């Protein structure tokens, strides 16, 4: 079985799920099923500079974000309050705002902004996490984990 994954393409044994081979250095987003024509294996992917390894945009604490973006002083950052041209401004621009507005209320609060929890996986995780029944499932190179109750 051939699986396109973030930054690489892997082949797994159908019998036991063991990874047989892989190719690294691919785009961060691989969006299609791999196709084979008896000579070549084709995949499709894309990525933008800020999502490549080592090029992530540095973020600021929520208090610093309020100082910078809360133009009306209500203690929240609304979509129409974000403007500018640096990478942080572009990341929070109206076109991208909904990615960060987790409750979709049109405003960023500390719960939308701050990291709520961290669990070190101690391994590379390139697969897309799955969410089901109040649980988050994550697969790394060597294990599968379930977070939640």
Tell me: pLDDT of 1 over 90: no
Distance from C-alpha of 72 to C-alpha of 92, rounded to nearest angstrom: 17
Cβ atoms 91, 84 nearer than 8 A: no
Cβ burial 63-88 (10 Å sphere, 16+ → b, else e): eebbebbbeeeeebbbbebbeeeeeb
- Bigger pLDDT: 90 vs 18: 18
**What pLDDT, on a 0 to 100 scale, did the predictor assign at position 73?**
94
For the chain, percent of residues with pLDDT exceeding 90? 15
| Cα distances (Å, whole numbers) of residue 43 to 27, 35, 82, 85 | 10, 7, 36, 33
**What pLDDT, on a 0 to 100 scale, did the predictor assign at position 125?**
78
**What pLDDT, on a 0 to 100 scale, did the predictor assign at position 76?**
92
**What pLDDT, on a 0 to 100 scale, did the predictor assign at position 43?**
82
**What pLDDT, on a 0 to 100 scale, did the predictor assign at position 5?**
80
β-strands 2-5, 8-12: how paired?
A: antiparallel
Distance from C-alpha of 1 to C-alpha of 102, rounded to nearest angstrom: 35
With a CB cutoff of 8 Å and minimum separation 6, the contacts of 128 are 6
Distance from C-alpha of 52 to C-alpha of 29, rounded to nearest angstrom: 10
Tell me: pLDDT of 64 over 80: yes
Per-residue pLDDT reduced to its tens digit, 78-133:
989 998 888 888 888 887 888 788 788 889 888 888 777 777 778 887 777 888 88
**What pLDDT, on a 0 to 100 scale, did the predictor assign at position 74?**
94
Q: Is the whole model's pTM more than 0.75, yes or no?
A: no
**What pLDDT, on a 0 to 100 scale, did the predictor assign at position 71?**
93
């Amino acid at each position: 079985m051939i699986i396109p994954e973030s930054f690489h393409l892997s082949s797994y044994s159908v019998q036991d799920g063991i990874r047989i081979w892989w190719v690294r250095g691919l785009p961060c987003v691989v969006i299609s099923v791999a196709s084979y024509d008896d000579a070549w294996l084709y995949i499709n992917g894309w990525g933008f500079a800020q999502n490549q390894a080592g090029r992530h945009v540095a973020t600021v604490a929520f208090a610093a974000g309020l100082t910078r973006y809360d133009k009306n002083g209500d203690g929240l950052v609304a979509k129409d309050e974000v403007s500018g041209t640096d990478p942080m401004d572009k990341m929070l621009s109206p076109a991208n705002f909904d990615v960060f507005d987790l409750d979709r209320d049109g405003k960023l609060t500390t719960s939308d902004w701050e990291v709520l929890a961290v669990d070190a996986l101690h391994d590379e995780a390139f697969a897309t996490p799955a969410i089901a029944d109040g649980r988050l499932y994550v697969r790394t190179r060597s294990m599968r984990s379930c977070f939640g109750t």
